Chains A and B, each alone.
Chain A
Amino acid sequence: MLEVKNLSTYFYVEDGELRAVDGLSYHVDKGEAVGLVGESACGKSVSALSLMRLVPYPPGVIMGGEVIFKGTDLLAISEDEIRTIRGGQITIVFQEPTTSLNPLFSIKTQISEALTLHRNMDSQAAADESVRLLKQVGIPDPERRVNNYPHHFSGGMQQRIMLAMALACNPELLIADEPTTSVDVTVQAQLLELIDNLRTEYGTAVIIITHNLGVIARYVDRVHVMYAGRLVEVAETRPLFAEPLHPYTAGLLSSVPRLDLPRERELYVIGGAPPNLARLPSGCAFHPRCQYTINRCREERPELEEVLEGRYSACFRSREMPELRKS
Chain B
Amino acid sequence: MRAYATRRLLLAIPTLVIVTMLVFFSVRLIPGNVIDLMVSEMATASGMGEELDADYIRQQLGLDEAVHIQYFKWAGGLFRGEFGESLWTGRPILPDVIRRYPISIELGLIAIIISLTISVPVGIYSAIRQDTVLDYGGRTFAIGMLAMPNFWLATMVIVYPSIWFNWSPPIRYMPFTEDPMANIVMFIIPGFLMGTSMSGGSMRFLRTMFLEVLRQDYIRTAWAKGLQEHVIIFKHALRNASIPLITSMGPMVLMLFGGSVIMEQIFNLPGLGRYFLDALNTRDYPVVQIMNLIGAGSFVFVTVIIDLSYAWLDPRIVYR
Contact = CB atoms under 8 A, between A and B. Distances in A.
B217 A99 contact: yes
Interface in A60-93: 83-88, 91-92
Contacts of A83: 226-228
Given A113-B227, A114-B225, A117-B226, A100 B217 contact: yes
A88 B218 contact: no
Interface in B186-230: 216-218, 220-228
A95 B288 CA distance: 59
A99 B226 contact: no
A94 B217 contact: yes
Interface stretch (B39-47, B177-185, B267-275, B311-319): B311-319
Contact of A104 (B224, B227, B239): B239
Nearest to A52: B224
Contacts of B298: none
A87 B236 contact: no
A100 B226 contact: no
A36 B221 CA distance: 21
A84 B227 CA distance: 8
B226 A152 contact: no
Nearest to B221: A100
B224 A54 contact: yes
B60 interface: no
A240 to B, nearest CB: 30
A102 B224 contact: no
A96 interface: yes
B220 to A, nearest CB: 7
Interface string B225-242: 111100000001001100
A165 interface: yes
Contacts of B236: 102, 105
A84 B218 contact: no
A102 B226 contact: no
A220 interface: no
A310 B220 CA distance: 36
A149 B315 contact: yes
Given A99-B217, A104-B315, A151-B316, A86 B240 contact: no
A2 interface: no
B316 A54 contact: no
A54 B226 CA distance: 10
B221 A117 contact: no
Given A54-B220, A101-B218, A149-B315, A165 B226 contact: no
Interface residues of B, number: 21
Interface residues of A, number: 30
Contact of B225 (A96, A104, A165): A165
B279 to A, nearest CB: 46
Contacts of A91: 224-225
Interface string B294-320: 000000000000000000011110010
Interface string A280-316: 0000000000000000000000000000000000000
Contacts of A102: 218, 221-222, 236, 239-240
Contacts of B228: 83
A54 B217 CA distance: 12
Contacts of A88: 226
A99 B222 CA distance: 12
A86 B217 contact: no
A94 B220 contact: yes
Interface string A87-129: 1100110101001111111000000011001100000000000
Contact of A117 (B218, B227, B313, B316): B227
A167 to B, nearest CB: 12
Given A83-B228, A104-B239, A149-B316, A96 B217 contact: yes
B310 to A, nearest CB: 11
Nearest to A104: B239
29 contacts: A54-B220, A54-B223, A54-B224, A56-B220, A83-B226, A83-B228, A85-B226, A86-B223, A86-B224, A87-B224, A87-B225, A87-B226, A88-B226, A94-B221, A96-B217, A100-B221, A101-B218, A101-B221, A102-B236, A103-B314, A103-B315, A104-B314, A105-B239, A113-B222, A117-B225, A117-B226, A117-B227, A118-B226, A149-B315
Given A103-B218, A104-B240, 20 more contacts: A54-B224, A83-B226, A85-B226, A87-B226, A88-B226, A94-B220, A94-B221, A94-B224, A99-B218, A100-B217, A102-B221, A102-B222, A102-B236, A103-B240, A103-B316, A104-B315, A105-B236, A113-B225, A114-B226, A152-B319
